[in-house]
């Protein structure tokens, strides 16, 4: 059974690991709170630490709740869509041919069959987003494999609701959120590096933070900027 600290309406999931210090995190997008504590930390000490950070937790949760969120896409002509951190205008062309997407400067042209619904248009766009990511990721991964001295056995793309990426260090693969195609490319690279570093250190302990700081000194600023962008 997992350990939980309840402070009024705030629920904090506690994990005990072989770390030196307590780490408290408020996770985007919904403001979930976790606390990682050294193995021998007494429950009352962990609770006292959480209480001391209560104002900070509420501040972080308010910031996430007020964060801009994109309105649901309807995939109609003149609708705006984000791509690599820039806003593009969508043009929908209906004709009886295989669906496809074309990019021309700041315009995205979505070719679909007549009568296609929103779900079908979203599916075509999502497949195109994956193609764009597949065009970028092999070079990024290869470049950082040599820098970090690791080997990525494979990568996977999928929609994720609560995280930008994940790493299965035992299998040697990483998983990335397809929403990253909407963010600036340096943010995509940062997430890739973050997950690849988990091949060296599976947890978010002090060693991991030191590795991240060594290889990406501005990681904290970039992470804050990434989490502040529209979801």
Q: What is the pLDDT at residue 57?
A: 93
Average pLDDT over residues 79-85: 93
* Same domain, residue pair 129 and 31: no
* Residue 67: band (very low, low, confident or very high) from pLDDT cuts 50, 70, 90: low
Among 65, 94, 118, identify where a domain stops: 65
Question: Which pLDDT tens digit goes with each residue over 36-55?
Answer: 999 999 999 999 999 999 99
* Same domain, residue pair 101 and 212: yes
Distance CA 175, CA 195 (A): 8
Where does the chain show beta strands of DSSP type E?
A: 3-7, 10-17, 23-27, 32-38, 80-83, 86-94, 100-104, 107-112, 154-158, 165-168, 173-177
Question: Which pLDDT tens digit goes with each residue over 123-142?
Answer: 999 999 999 999 999 999 99
* Residue 98: band (very low, low, confident or very high) from pLDDT cuts 50, 70, 90: very high
Q: What is the pLDDT at residue 68?
A: 57
Residue 94: is its pLDDT beyond 90? Answer: yes
* Same domain, residue pair 57 and 84: no
* Same domain, residue pair 106 and 11: no
* Same domain, residue pair 49 and 137: no
In a domain, 70, yes or no: no
* Same domain, residue pair 97 and 56: no
pTM, entire model = 0.74
In a domain, 72, yes or no: no
Number of domains in the chain: 2
């Amino acid at each position: 059974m997992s350990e939980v600290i309840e402070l009024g309406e705030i629920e904090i999931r506690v994990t005990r690991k072989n770390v030196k210090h307590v780490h408290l995190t408020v996770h985007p997008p919904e403001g979930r709170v976790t606390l990682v504590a050294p193995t021998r930390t007494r429950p009352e000490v962990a609770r006292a630490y959480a209480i001391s950070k209560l104002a900070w937790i509420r501040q972080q949760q308010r910031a996430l709740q007020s964060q801009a969120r994109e309105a649901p896409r309807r995939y109609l002509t003149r609708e705006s869509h984000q791509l690599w951190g820039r806003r593009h205008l969508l043009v929908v062309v209906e004709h009886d041919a295989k669906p496809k997407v074309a990019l021309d400067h700041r315009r995205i042209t979505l070719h679909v069959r007549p009568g296609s619904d929103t779900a079908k248009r979203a599916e075509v766009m999502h497949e195109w987003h994956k193609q764009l990511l597949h065009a970028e990721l092999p070079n990024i991964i290869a470049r950082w494999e040599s820098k970090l001295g690791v080997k990525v056995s494979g990568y996977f793309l999928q929609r994720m609701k609560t995280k930008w990426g994940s790493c299965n260090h035992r299998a040697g693969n990483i998983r990335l959120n397809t929403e990253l195609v909407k963010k600036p490319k340096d943010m995509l690279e940062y997430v890739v590096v973050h997950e690849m570093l988990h091949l060296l250190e599976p947890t978010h302990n002090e060693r991991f933070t030191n590795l991240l700081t060594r290889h990406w000194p501005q990681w904290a600023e970039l992470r804050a900027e990434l989490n502040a962008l529209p979801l």
